Amino acid sequence: MYNEHRRSDILSKEEPDNEMITTFFNIARAYYRQQDWNMCLSMLAKSLDLVQKQKEEHFMLPELYYSMALAYAHRQEIPIALQYFKLTISTAAKKLPDDHPDMQKYRFQLQLYTNDVLKAIFQGQHNN
């Protein structure tokens, strides 16, 4: 009986972190839908901080990086957005095969964003 109680204590210490990771992520998604990029990134940063304190790489890490990439892209912070898109792909590639739908989504969005950036640069050069 004593061992079972101790074991449940060990499990319960990690569970609140997982719940908070999900909670902050869901709050960030709500701010994203409201287009409040600063609050979205703030909540994602809180979630990411908890993820990085985990013993093992957390399953939500690629999705956190992806959400940060999208938020930075909306804020027109191109280098940071590109950095997070690349982190998304490199992190997800550790666990997912290339043909996984999430990997395809991440690569497609990076390509789409890169094309948009290049198009904007090209149009800006022609307008000068």
Rounded distance between C-alpha atoms, residue 36 and residue 56, angstroms: 31
Amino acid in position 61: L
pLDDT band at residue 1 under the 50/70/90 scheme: very low
Rounded distance between C-alpha atoms, residue 44 and residue 86, angstroms: 17
pLDDT tens sequence across 73-101: 999 999 999 999 999 999 999 999 999 99
Contact indicator for 89, 111 with CB cutoff of 8 Å: no
pLDDT tens sequence across 16-73: 799 999 999 999 999 999 999 999 999 999 999 999 998 888 899 999 999 999 999 9
In the chain the domains, ranked by start, together with CATH numbers, are 2-127 (1.25.40.10)
**Residue from 86, 91, 94 nearest 111 by CA:** 86
Q: CA-CA distances (angstroms) from residue 7 to 1, 57, 66, 104?
A: 10, 22, 35, 40
Instruction: Quote the pTM value.
Output: 0.82
Contact indicator for 28, 47 with CB cutoff of 8 Å: yes
Q: What's the chain's length in residues?
A: 128
Contact indicator for 68, 48 with CB cutoff of 8 Å: yes
- The answer on pLDDT for 8 being more than 60 is no
Amino acid in position 16: P
Rounded distance between C-alpha atoms, residue 23 and residue 9, angstroms: 21
